[in-house]
Amino acid sequence: MKEIRIGVISFEHMHALSYTTELGKIEGVQLAGIADSDEYRGTKMASRFGTKYYNDYHDLLTEGLDGVIICTNNSMHCQVSCDALDSGCHVLVEKPFAICKEDAEKMLNHAKANGKRIMNAFPMRFNPNVIEAKKAVDEGRIGTILSITGINHGKIPSGWFIDKKLSGGGGVMDHTVHLADLIRWFTGSEFSSVYCESGDLLHNRNIDDTGLVMAHMENGAFVTIDCSWAHHRNYPIWPQVDMEIIGTKGTIELKAFAQVNHVTDQKNSIIEDLCWNEDGDAGLIREFADVIRTGREPNASGLDGARALEVAEAAYRSSKSHRQEQVIHVEA
């Protein structure tokens, strides 16, 4: 088996740690280097993973890589992805795919022009509970999907996540895309129209931390997404991805993170639920490695990422207009 070389660009997003850890578990994959403009963070991670550090990601891209994983702030996804694609790399970019439709189209066009694959980081597609629910839907066990109620809650992040110029938006941008992607995947349909109300209602950080998205699909299904940063600081669990999928023959109640160890640390005043055996990151990274080896279309493609971004953009337009807004589709 030919060894493939993958680099990681930036640990600005917390998922970079998990992704890089999973890379080291795949036979025939070499972590070729870590690039990060934050020298302290970058050298620390390079030392941890036993690889070379690059301050400028352009230097890493000259090292004959087969692929890169991009975990910068959201505003940099477009430029870094296009540079990586132009250098001959396949790309896995953290979600959201981009911060606007124009950037998403540019990224897709660069992938096509260079004959390379671009993936969006949607690890929920590789969560075992989600996979089983998708199997039940595909087998027709609940009939035709009529509606889906989705919840993606979490704690409010810090740093660049709450800077609109770097993140593109708050909870609506951060959490709508996961469920929008799963809803498209389950229904096999595109979003048609969106109505959304959102606001800075919980944390007073001058960015939307609360949102409720209500949408129609092109096939007639009606769906909702609660995308709020609603968990307070001492809430025992960070991730929450729940769905109720109602069909003509039955209903699926999906809880993506159902298996937890409940930890109470009296000394440090910590009460925490630690998830186990349900992390989709391993499957996501294995998928990326296989896409590099085979050149096939990935599960969770760049187009999937762009389609989910469309929903977030429509939600922001609706939240501003207080009217139902049509979803504007990215040119494939």
Same domain, 197 and 164: yes
Q: Give the pLDDT confidence of 176-198 residue by residue, as tens digits.
A: 999 999 999 999 999 999 999 99
Q: Give percent of the chain above pLDDT 90.
A: 88
Evaluate whether 287 touches 299 at the Cβ level (below 8 Å). Answer: yes
Same domain, 167 and 271: yes
Residue 69, in any domain of the structure = yes
For residue 42, the domain's CATH number is 3.40.50.720
> From the CA atom positions of the chain, what is the Rg in Å?
19
The kind and range of the H/E element at 19 are: helix 15-23
Q: Give the list of residues 6+ apart from residue 324 with CB closer than 8 angstroms, or none.
A: 193, 194, 195, 318
* pLDDT of the residue at 268: 77
* pLDDT of the residue at 151: 97
Q: Give the pLDDT confidence of 108-120 residue by residue, as tens digits.
A: 999 999 999 999 9
Same domain, 286 and 248: no
Same domain, 111 and 151: no
At 303, give phi and psi (nearest 5°): -65, -40
Rounded to an integer, the average pLDDT of 145-166 is: 96
* pLDDT of the residue at 156: 93
Residue 92, in any domain of the structure = yes
Residue 85, in any domain of the structure = yes
Residue 34 has pLDDT above 80, yes or no: yes
Q: Give the pLDDT confidence of 233-244 residue by residue, as tens digits.
A: 777 677 789 999
Whether the pTM exceeds 0.85: the reply is yes
* pLDDT of the residue at 257: 83
At 250, give phi and psi (nearest 5°): 175, -175
Range of the domain at 274: 124-278+310-326
Same domain, 206 and 75: no
Same domain, 237 and 259: yes
* pLDDT of the residue at 267: 79
Using 50, 70 and 90 to split pLDDT, how confident is the model at 210? very high
Residue 172 has pLDDT above 80, yes or no: yes
Same domain, 255 and 163: yes
Evaluate whether 125 touches 280 at the Cβ level (below 8 Å). Answer: yes
Residue 36 has pLDDT above 90, yes or no: yes
Q: Give the residue among 224, 281, 232, 291 at the shortest CA–CA distance from 257.
A: 281
Q: How far apart are CA 169 and CA 198, in angstroms?
A: 11
* pLDDT of the residue at 259: 75
At 171, give phi and psi (nearest 5°): -60, -35
Residue 276 has pLDDT above 70, yes or no: no
Using 50, 70 and 90 to split pLDDT, how confident is the model at 311? very high
Q: Give the pLDDT confidence of 82-112 residue by residue, as tens digits.
A: 999 999 999 999 999 999 999 999 999 999 9
- Mean of pLDDT over the chain: 94
- The domain tally of the chain equals 2
Q: How far apart are CA 274 and CA 261, in angstroms?
A: 5
Residue 331, in any domain of the structure = no
Using 50, 70 and 90 to split pLDDT, how confident is the model at 164? very high
Rounded to an integer, the average pLDDT of 205-212 is: 96
Residue 252 has pLDDT above 80, yes or no: yes
* pLDDT of the residue at 104: 98
Residue 277 has pLDDT above 70, yes or no: no
Residue 201 has pLDDT above 80, yes or no: yes
Residue 278 has pLDDT above 70, yes or no: no
